Amino acid sequence: MGRPSRRALQALSVRGVELQGVGCQQAVGTVSPRAVLRYKQWVLEPDVEPDSEPVTYAMQCAVDEETSPASEDWVAPQDWVLEHCGKHPSHHTYREIITRPWRAWRRT
C-alpha cells in the first residue's frame, strides 16, 4: 500500500474522479496542556493497481429485484435480462449494478 504512481493520478484527473478531503483530526502530541492537532489529508480514488479487485457488472430486475450473477463484462448480465424478460414478460425495468474497487490513502 503506497501512494499511487504519478501516471495513475494523471489518468484519474483525466477522468475527473479524483477526490480530496481533509478529515481525521488527530492528536499527534501533548507538548502543552493543549493537544497539538494536525489535519491529515486523505485521497479517495478508484483502485487501478494491478492487484485491485475487478470491476463487475450485474443487472437487477426493478420489479422483483432478482439479480443476475456478477460478471467482469456486461454481455452476460444483459443476456440474463433478455432471458428474464422471456420468463416474466411484464418485467420491463432493470438496474445496472456496477461494483468498482476504490482505495483511500493518506497524503503525507
Can you tell me which of 8, 12, 70, 91 binds Zn ion, judged by CB under 5 A? 91
Residue 94: CB atoms within 10 Å: 20
Q: Does residue 64 belong to the site contacting Zn ion (CB under 5 A)? A: yes
Q: Does residue 59 belong to the site contacting Zn ion (CB under 5 A)? A: no
**What residue type is 4 in one-letter code?**
P
Name the residue nearer to Zn ion (CB basis): 73 or 83.
83
Tell the smallest beta-carbon distance from residue 99 to Zn ion (Å): 21
Can you tell me which of 59, 61, 68, 77 binds Zn ion, judged by CB under 5 A? 61
- φ/ψ of residue 10, rounded to 5: -65, -45
Q: Does residue 88 belong to the site contacting Zn ion (CB under 5 A)? A: yes
Say if residue 32 is exposed, middle or buried (CB neighbours under 10 Å; 0-12, 13-18, 19+): exposed
**What residue type is 86 in one-letter code?**
G
**Interacting residue ranges for Zn ion, rule: CB under 5 A:** 61, 63-64, 88, 91
